Amino acid sequence: MAGESSLFKFLSPGRRFQSTDIQAAAGWGVAAATTALWVIQDASIFLKIDS
């Protein structure tokens, strides 16, 4: 995307975000969200919270 490169032009070329960095961040976000949902689900079972 053209706007994507102009957004980070103020950073030196070695410090700009790479697509691998963005993919890794997205992967960690999915893992964190899945873990949070799993913990909440388990807590509701143990605490017998009715929804």
Q: Tens digits of per-residue pLDDT, 3-30?
A: 555 666 676 767 777 889 999 999 999 9
If you average pLDDT over residues 21-46, what whole number do you get? 89
**What is the per-residue pLDDT for 32?**
97
**What is the per-residue pLDDT for 6?**
64
As a whole number of angstroms, the distance between CA 12 and CA 35 comes to 35
**What is the per-residue pLDDT for 30?**
98
**What is the per-residue pLDDT for 8?**
61
Residue 16: which domain range?
A: 3-50
**What is the per-residue pLDDT for 12?**
73
Give yes or no for a contact between 33 and 40, defined as CB atoms under 8 angstroms apart.
Answer: no
Total domain count for the chain? 1
